[in-house]
């Protein structure tokens, strides 16, 4: 579906270590936690108090050029929200922001999750443009947007 190939050479954890936001030991603890409990590494790092959501969003923005979109005061159109089923939005921690023709703008906490992007493109038959937002902002936006139905 996408017109360009997404190439991701480094994992989020590596980037956070390079930028001295977390230590290798903290990443190991987060990965062990993930193996046992599941979940996203970025969210686990925040839960364990090793990183702030904003740090993760900034790393993704700086390293990959994904634009950052704070959603706190962003009103998402209910019609646009319907493009992606609520359970998919929750599973991948993303929310549709805008749709023009077959281009869908999505805010997500982990735009490096190519599986999520490919799934959304398949479900919507749209080309996805990813923006970065924090997990908290996205979860609140999901609550606001899907509650309107």
Domain membership flag for residue 72 = no
Number of domains in the chain: 2
pLDDT at position 148, please? 55
CATH number for 118: 3.30.300.160
Domain membership flag for residue 19 = yes
Domain membership flag for residue 73 = no
Angle at 31 between CA 28 and CA 36, to 5 degrees: 130
pLDDT at position 3, please? 38
Contact indicator for 105, 94 with CB cutoff of 8 Å: no
Question: pLDDT tens digit string along 17-51?
Answer: 999 999 999 999 999 999 999 887 888 999 999 99
Residues 142 and 85 in one domain: yes
Residues 83 and 140 in one domain: yes
Residues 134 and 90 in one domain: yes
pLDDT at position 9, please? 55
Residues 93 and 142 in one domain: yes
Q: Which domain holds residue 134?
A: 78-147
Domain membership flag for residue 128 = yes
Q: Which residues of the chain have pLDDT under 50?
A: 1-8
Question: What is the enclosing helix (H) or strand (E) of 96?
Answer: strand 94-100
Q: Is 88 helix (H, G, I), strand (E, B) or coil?
A: helix
Question: What is the enclosing helix (H) or strand (E) of 44?
Answer: helix 41-47
Domain membership flag for residue 30 = yes
pLDDT at position 1, please? 41
Domain membership flag for residue 116 = yes
Domain membership flag for residue 6 = no
Cα–Cα dist 127/55, whole Å? 27
List CB contacts of 104: < 8 A, sequence separation 6 or more.
83, 96, 98, 120, 124, 126, 127, 128, 129
Domain membership flag for residue 16 = yes
């Amino acid at each position: 579906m996408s017109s360009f190939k997404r190439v991701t050479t480094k994992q989020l954890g590596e980037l956070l270590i390079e930028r001295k936001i977390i230590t290798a030991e903290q990443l190991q603890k987060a990965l062990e936690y993930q193996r046992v409990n599941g979940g996203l590494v970025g969210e686990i790092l925040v839960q364990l108090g090793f990183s702030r959501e904003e740090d993760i969003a900034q790393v993704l923005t700086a390293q990959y050029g994904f634009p950052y979109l704070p959603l706190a005061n962003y009103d998402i159109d209910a019609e646009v929200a319907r493009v992606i089923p609520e359970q998919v939005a929750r599973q991948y921690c993303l929310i549709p922001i805008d749709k023009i023709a077959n281009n869908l703008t999505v805010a997500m906490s982990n735009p490096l999750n190519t599986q999520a992007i490919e799934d959304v493109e398949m479900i919507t038959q749209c080309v996805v443009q990813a923006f970065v937002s924090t997990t908290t902002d996205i979860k609140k936006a999901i609550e606001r947007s899907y509650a309107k139905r």
